[in-house]
Structure 1
Amino acid sequence: MSLATADPYVQDGPYAWFRLAISILLSTLGGAGMWAVVIVLPAVQQDFGIDRAGASLPYTATMIGFAAGNYLLGRFVDRYGIVLPVIASAFSLSAGFALAALAPNIWMFTLLQGVLIGLGTSATFGPLVADISHWFVKRRGLAVACAACGNYFAGVLWPSFIQWSLTTTDWRGAYLQIAVICLVTMIPLALILRRPPPETAFSGAAGSGGAGHRSVRLSPSALQWLLVLAGLACCVAMSMPQVHIVAYCVDLGYGVAPGADMIALMTGAGVVSRLATGFLADRIGGVRTLLIGSVLQCAALFLYIPFNGLTSLYLVSLIFGLSQGGIVPSYAVIVREYLPAREAGQRVGLVIMATILGMALGGWLSGLIYDMTGSYQAAFLNGIAWNLLNMTIAVFILMRGRRQDGTVAA
């Protein structure tokens, strides 16, 4: 077939890459729901006259809504496509931010964060990742990783925008501005994604695309729940530095600013990690990529224990970011390699939900262990133990794998 008559809408074709770019934009815009509440937390605390624990409730509610939405909307995407969920996300985020800006008390603010903003944000993560996976075969790992980077890009865009906005208005004014931005940008972008995936995306019982098909000597349900447990375990481990590094730096006498810089360093390194593991997954598969990332994350957690100097903490945080960034997208790749393509939305969403709950559980567990021991050393060891569970599951799935010809994978 000549270039002039080649179909641009095939998997891995020009439209697929254009669609990926739109998906990254949507993920970056929709990610406002995760980052805005973190930035305005001190202002919200002062406005409502509450303590820090009370001011933290909206973030917890947002993460719960975000976790549930990844699964619930993933099921919807499998049946009706991605456009309606993203349009609903735009309305939900816009209404959520606008109403939250008018909230008279912390309880109404928390409810709006969890229901409208949390659920609205979820449509632009797991469901978008699942949708874009249908448009790629040879570069599926890279495409999934790129789509997942939108969440990190949101962590760069929205905090900067909100900090700028707070120089001219209060947090309520900033929320109203976000409400308008989400509504006027996300709906036109969502309509660009109206074309359904090519029928070849759904050929075969498991991962689509023929050459990318893999099988495992486990039932689909058993593999799904192993991935859920693995996702929960890896993110319990992942949460220790991400949630507590600022407090850890304060305990060591370095103050808040270095801890905040370390979070930014982790996030930036996480983008690099996601892109690199996307390339890797296309070559060696999702399970091996997951195992490599998990081993490296475990090693980074070990490094936090003996090295607590300021320079060494910056270096270890960089290593940690480079290790953990690609772990979550690896689950989406594994789902698409081993499980039915027509169920990708709900299955990816379920694992993503487990990873988010793992972050919430891990952050709480680390705080509890710190309260019990007066030190973060045991909390790092707790993270390492959960990380070892994740590695064990990855090794087990790898050992149960088959090649396409039915022979056991090495």
Structure 2
Amino acid sequence: MTKRHYLSFLSAAFLIMATYISGNAVGFFIKPITAELGFTRSAFSIYLSLSTLTGVFVLPFIGQFLPKFGAKKLLIVGGTWVSLGFVWLAFATQLWQFYAGGIFLGLFMMPITMFLAILLINNWFESKKGLMMGLLNASGGLAGAVVAIYMPMFLDNFGWRNGYLLIAGLFALLTIPNALFLLVEHPESIGLRAYGNNTVAYEDGLGSTPEQSISYTEAKKTKQFYILFAGIFLSAFGGGLMQHLPALFSGIGFTAGEVGTLFSLVMAGMIIANILVGAVNDKIDSTITILVVSACMIVSLFLLATTSSFLSLAILMFVLAFGIGGPSVLTPLVVNEVFGPRDYFRIWSILGMAPSIGMSISGPLWGAVYDVTGSYQLGMYAMISLTVIYGACYIFALKSGPLKKNREESGM
């Protein structure tokens, strides 16, 4: 592995850090903003949904037109755009202004963070892809853990408006210099290959062969494509819960410091969980990994709904980290395993919409559960059932996918 491979991973890691900082920090804004401006939590959460839904509609176009414009230009424009969006939110006073800000952010936030980061890992790593994907998400977890420690204190001391300005500055710092000095989209453009790629290049330069990959057109004709989409969609509901964890802990009666500690523990747990999930997935069958991740989610949801002990919750946060963080590592790997790398980015530009849709719907739903019942408990019990369903969707796609059939027919 060359120095350039490490630098490309670092470039992707900075993008994931920007995602985690901007995405997870917003959970700490829910209580102070709704309390000061008089919004309900479900109504306020819609601005987060508008952001992700806008990204959903933009993502397929990014998958098709990225080769024309290039990742560098996209990241420079998008980094500037999103940073200005957070500045807008810092001065918002009306609900519609938050909604407009959410749409503004959504146009570029997801395409220049998660999408580009996954693109870089797939372009630069053929071997150890699971480990690198796990390390990628772990870097985001590290950034999220730091934010969880300091953001509550920052908001208490300087207010939520300055909090948005802080996020704007951090987002700009992690994206614009990255595009100018660090990001290289394709290893072939500088005379290198993806790490572990020792085969003859095929169409897309990923070293695949026709028997090892499914075209975008073929993928859309399979039932596995749509079942996997449904599974990915449901798996994102855990991310919706993540947005409400600070409010949930605060509602139990914990201090701002205790809330920050619990949230930082789940983020720190994700650092460990993401690395282990990716590394284990490289060594054993993906089905087993999915079963373990689903079991962690089910157990943690049940205990989260039935305990209010700080010590118990502190321990539980590490289990929850596997349940929430696991799908973010596994999903891109499973998509590659089911359909192959040939048209991966076009396929991912569609399947990658699923977690965004799930997140956009689940955030307000978790808020609505609280608004109606005064607790998040009912939502946790419902999420247990959804976890069983999405785990079954992943396993079905892996066990009956077209790529596996092609390999079995060719004797591979």
> Which TM-score applies when normalising by structure 2?
0.78
1-side partners of 2:252 and 2:93: how far apart?
38
Moved more, 29-38 or 42-51: 42-51
2:300 corresponding residue in structure 1: 300
Deviates more, 1:380-389 or 1:294-303: 294-303
CA separation of 1:167 and 1:17: change in aligned 2, threshold 3 A: same
Correspondent of 2:104 among 115, 118, 130: 115
Check the 8 A contact 1:207/1:335 in 2, yes or no: no
1:220 partner letter: A
Equivalent positions of 1:11-410 (< 5 A) are 12-29=1-18, 31-41=20-30, 44-45=33-34, 48=37, 50=39, 52-77=41-66, 80-103=69-92, 105-116=94-105, 119-158=108-147, 171-176=160-165, 178-183=167-172, 186-191=175-180, 192-194=182-184, 196-198=186-188, 203=201, 208-209=206-207, 220-221=219-220, 222=222, 223-236=224-237, 238-239=238-239, 242-245=242-245, 249=249, 258=258, 260-284=260-284, 286-304=286-304, 309-339=309-339, 341=341, 343-366=343-366, 368=368, 376-400=376-400, 402=404, 405-406=407-408
| Distance in 2 of aligned mates of 1:34 and 1:370 | 21
Q: Match of 1:198, as an amino acid?
A: E
Residues 25 and 154 of structure 1: CA distance in aligned 2, closer, same or farther (over 3 Å): same
- The alignment-based identity, stated in percent, is 21
- Quote the Cα distance in structure 2 between the aligned partners of 1:88 and 1:329: 27
2:197 equivalent in structure 1: none
The verdict on how the C-alpha distance between 1:79 and 1:285 changes in structure 2, with shifts beyond 3 A counting, is farther
- In 1: Cα distance, 2:361 partner to 2:44 partner: 18
- Cα distance in 1 between the residues matched to 2:241 and 2:362: 10
8 Å CA contact retained: 2:48, 2:360: no
CA shift at 1:125, angstroms? 1.2
Q: Distance in 2 between matches of 1:46 and 1:89?
A: 31
CA contact under 8 A between 1:205 and 1:339: conserved in structure 2? no
Matched residue of 2:187: which SS? coil
Q: Compared with structure 1, are the counterparts of its residues 190 and 286 closer, same or farther at alpha carbon in structure 2 (3 Å cutoff)?
A: farther
1:321-341 deviation per Cα after TM superposition (whole angstroms, max 9, x unaligned): 133312222111122233353
Note closer, same or farther for the CA distance 1:173–1:320 as it changes in structure 2 (3 Å cut). closer
Please tell me the residue identity of whatever aligns with 1:153.
L
Q: 1:132/1:270 Cα in 2 relative to 1: closer, same or farther (>3 Å)? A: same
Worse-matched range after superposition: 73-82 or 368-377: 368-377
- Report how many residues are paired: 396
> What RMSD over aligned residues (CA atoms) do the two structures have, in Å?
4.0
Unpaired segments ≥5 residues, structure 2: 195-199
Question: Cα distance, 1:117 vs. partner?
Answer: 5.8
2:127 match: secondary structure? coil
SS in 1 for 2:77: helix
More moved, 22-31 vs 139-148:
22-31
Contact 2:369/2:379 (<8 A) preserved: yes
Query: How far off its partner does 1:230 sit?
Result: 0.8
**Per residue, is there more helix in 1 or in 2?**
2
Higher relative contact order, structure no. (Cα contacts within 8 Å, ≥ 6 residues apart)? 2
Do the aligned partners of residues 71 and 177 (structure 1) sit closer, same or farther apart at CA in structure 2, a change above 3 Å counting? same
Instruction: For 2:307 and 2:101, locate their aligned partners in 1 and report how far apart those are by CA, in whole Å.
Output: 41
The aligned amino acid for 1:406 is E
Q: How many angstroms does 1:279 deviate by?
A: 0.8
Residues 68 and 150 from structure 1, CA distance in 2 versus in 1: closer, same or farther, beyond 3 angstroms? farther
SS where residue 134 of structure 1 aligns? helix
CA contact (8 A) 1:240 1:383 kept: no
C-alpha distance 353-148 of structure 1, shift in aligned 2 (>3 A):
farther
Under a length normalisation based on structure 1, what TM-score does the superposition of the two structures give? 0.78
Unaligned runs of 5+ in 1: 1-11
Matched residue SS, 2:113: coil
Q: Give yes or no for contact 1:145–1:275 (8 Å, CA) kept in 2.
A: yes
Q: How far apart, in 2, do the equivalents of 1:98 and 1:242 lie? A: 24
Aligned partners of 2:280, 2:350: CA distance in 1, in Å? Answer: 24
Contact 2:131 2:278 in 1 (8 A): yes
